[in-house]
Each structure stands twice: as C-alpha cells, then as structure tokens.
Amino acid sequence: MLTNKPNGTLYTGVTSSLERRVREHQSGLIPGFTKQYGLKRLVYFEEYRDILDAIDREKEIKGWLRIKKTALIRAGNPLWRNLAEDWNRVQMDPSLRSG
C-alpha cells in the first residue's frame, strides 16, 4: 500500500516487481490516482508466489473500510515508515554489472 503521509490517502495495487513499481510511482511515471495524490510512501506489502492469489488479496483489501486497512498497516508498521526509503541508496555490486 502506498500513501502520501501517515494516515493519508491509501492506494492498494498488485505488481510482479514491487521495487520497480514503487520507483515508477515515486518518479511520477504512472499517470492517474497515485500521481494525482502524490502517493510515494510504501507502508505495507505482502508477497505471493501466485499472481492470482495476489490479485484476490488486492481485491479483498480494496473492499475493506479504511479503518481495517489502517489497522493492517499499524500492525506491521506502526510509525507508517516508508519501507522503500533505503532502496534507492543500495548500490549494485559492480561484479553484477554487464559490460
């Protein structure tokens, strides 16, 4: 789930690459709801092996009232910390680079 600030607007989505998708949202490459509301803070996520299970869970969460969504976030991330804040700071191991 993405938000723009603690207890702000919430967005729930599904992707096959969380890091890529969050970076796209943070850089404003995805037009629409997340760009309009500045939703760049990753506050909650779940991982699934099967995309159909992930889509089912996304639909389930989207059907919840806000109070239930915020309780889910607070259970694992009580300070609503940006869980992706360190992703851009991690440097790729030079031995993994091509060329």
pLDDT tens, residue by residue, 5-55: 887 899 999 999 999 999 999 898 888 999 999 999 999 999 999 999 999
pTM higher than 0.85: no
Bridge partners of residue 89, in order along the sequence: none
Question: What pLDDT, in 10s, does the model give residues 55-80?
Answer: 999 999 999 999 999 999 999 999 99
